[in-house]
């Protein structure tokens, strides 16, 4: 039985589909290719199949989505845009500003999206008052994942400060365990840097640096300290990290080959897919020093204009994505939390409940920030400039002082 078998086509979709002879397939371009991600995506596929809509899968591997965006640009240039495309942050705004996206206002109005989707997400889902994408989830990126048995065997508790964290790394290294599982890809390096920078700069400094692009903050002593801490992390990854996919790094923690991984909450889907239980087999906690902050990204599906009004299939897809039952079923599997504020946490595990609680608290206190590493703090040109500097430093091309100056220069040129 499908998770969403009972979900019916909404009134909005019915209205939009009037006159359509028969539902066609949706072609969906995405980068959800790991085991946990594929399991979550299957929830959406099954839901649409229950509505008579077929699914043409177009996966493009690459956890940060850069390869998918390259493929998308080629498709759009050729006049052959997919029905729907997974998108993040400023990438969505860029496509909308080019006039490439369909208008979802009819579905949104019928189903009351404006009342239940947080403003921080609407900032990337609406352009000039027009809904152009359907938010699937909210991921937070400043998590640490740990193998509980490994930590217990070495007398390590959950570290609450940078000093406690570095002490844990030293203990693991002395025990012959790889302290940190990491994949040497630019977006992964930047994901770690996001959390490290937040822990050093604090929320005001993070906003000044990566949202306001303030040159003094980018070039500050605090930023040098962030790079110094990145050097410590680099010293605690294994020699084979270069080019490793994020889910293979997660597998190192799952298998007890490494103690920690700094990664967004999509990593939880890998633990769950391996039948691991939070609190028993693995631990989830905020990167030390960011316990009161949440950096986020939100996966959304952009609906590309197919040469007229929103199609029947696009309406059904958008409706299915924002339905409360799908939001719960999908995010329970994916590791993320719902993009709606009115979804119960009853079906979520301990990490999911904590994620929902943290998100609500951060939103209420003004400590919810779009992730620089995941395209929700600054446009792609700036994000890519930061990537270049962070990765060059992580790979030993720059010392910390040089990295700070390169960061100032790179952002100045990119913005």
User: pTM for the whole thing?
Assistant: 0.85
Instruction: Tell me the angle at which helices 324-334 and 312-322 cross, rounded to the nearest 10 degrees.
Output: 70
Report how far residue 351's alpha carbon sits from residue 353's, in angstroms, rounded to the nearest whole number.
6
> In this predicted model, what pLDDT tens digit does every residue of 61-71 receive, in sequence order?
887 788 999 99
Mean local confidence (pLDDT), 292-297: 95
Does the pLDDT of residue 317 top 70, yes or no?
yes
> Considering only the top CATH level, what class is 140-295+369-414?
alpha beta
Mean local confidence (pLDDT), 7-11: 30
Output the pLDDT for position 24: 75
Lowest-pLDDT choice from 148-157, 303-312, 321-330: 303-312
Output the pLDDT for position 174: 98
**What would the two tokens of residue 189 be?**
């390096």
Output the pLDDT for position 65: 87
CATH of 24-138+298-353, one of 2.60.40.10, 3.40.190.10, 3.30.1360.120, 3.40.50.300: 3.40.190.10
Mean local confidence (pLDDT), 296-306: 94
Does the pLDDT of residue 15 top 60, yes or no?
no
**CA of 348: how far to CAs of 136, 140, 141, 205, in Å?**
16, 16, 18, 33
Do 180 and 169 contact (CB within 8 A), yes or no?
Answer: yes
Does the pLDDT of residue 1 top 80, yes or no?
no
Do 310 and 317 contact (CB within 8 A), yes or no?
Answer: no
Mean local confidence (pLDDT), 87-101: 95
Does the pLDDT of residue 265 top 50, yes or no?
yes
Mean local confidence (pLDDT), 37-44: 88
Report how far residue 198's alpha carbon sits from residue 206's, in angstroms, rounded to the nearest whole number.
6
> In this predicted model, what pLDDT tens digit does every residue of 361-413 receive, in sequence order?
998 899 999 999 999 999 999 999 999 999 999 999 999 999 999 999 999 99
Closest CA to 190 of 405, 392, 396: 392
Do 184 and 170 contact (CB within 8 A), yes or no?
Answer: no
């Amino acid at each position: 039985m499908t998770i969403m078998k009972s979900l019916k086509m909404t009134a909005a979709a019915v209205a939009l589909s009037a006159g359509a002879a028969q539902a066609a397939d949706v072609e969906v371009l995405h980068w959800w290719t790991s085991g946990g991600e594929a399991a979550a995506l299957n929830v959406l596929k099954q839901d649409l199949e229950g509505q008579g809509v077929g699914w043409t899968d177009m996966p493009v591997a690459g956890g940060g989505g850069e390869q998918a965006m390259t493929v998308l640009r080629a498709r759009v240039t050729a006049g052959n845009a997919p029905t729907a495309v997974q998108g993040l942050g400023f990438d969505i705004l860029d496509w909308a500003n080019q006039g490439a996206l369909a208008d979802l206002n009819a579905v949104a109005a019928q189903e009351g999206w404006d009342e239940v989707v947080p403003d921080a997400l609407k900032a990337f889902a609406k352009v000039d008052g027009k809904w152009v994408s359907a938010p699937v989830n909210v991921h937070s990126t400043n998590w640490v994942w740990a193998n509980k048995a490994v930590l217990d065997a070495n007398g390590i508790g959950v570290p609450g400060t940078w000093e406690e964290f570095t002490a844990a790394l030293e203990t693991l290294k002395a025990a012959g365990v790889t302290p940190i599982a990491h994949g040497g890809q630019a977006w992964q390096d930047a994901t770690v840097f996001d959390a490290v920078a937040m822990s050093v700069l604090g929320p005001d400094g993070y906003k000044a640096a990566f949202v306001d692009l303030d040159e003094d903050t980018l070039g500050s002593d605090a930023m040098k300290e962030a790079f110094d801490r990145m050097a410590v992390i680099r010293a605690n990854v294994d020699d084979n990290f270069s080019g490793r996919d994020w889910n293979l790094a997660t597998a190192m923690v799952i298998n007890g080959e490494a103690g920690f991984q700094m990664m967004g909450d999509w990593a939880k889907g890998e633990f769950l897919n391996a039948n691991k239980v939070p609190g028993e087999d693995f631990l989830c906690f905020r990167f030390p020093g960011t316990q009161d902050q949440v950096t986020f990204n939100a996966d959304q599906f952009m609906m590309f204009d197919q040469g007229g009004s929103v199609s029947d299939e696009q309406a059904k897809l958008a409706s299915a994505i924002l339905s409360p039952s799908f939001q719960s079923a999908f995010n329970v599997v994916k590791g993320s939390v719902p993009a709606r504020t009115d979804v119960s946490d009853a079906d979520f595990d301990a990490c999911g409940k904590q994620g929902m609680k943290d998100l609500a608290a951060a939103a209420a206190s003004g400590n919810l920030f779009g992730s620089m590493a995941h395209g929700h703090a600054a446009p792609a040109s700036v994000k890519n400039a930061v990537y270049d500097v962070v990765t060059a430093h992580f790979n030993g091309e720059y010392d910390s002082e040089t990295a700070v100056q390169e960061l100032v220069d790179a952002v100045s040129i990119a913005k």
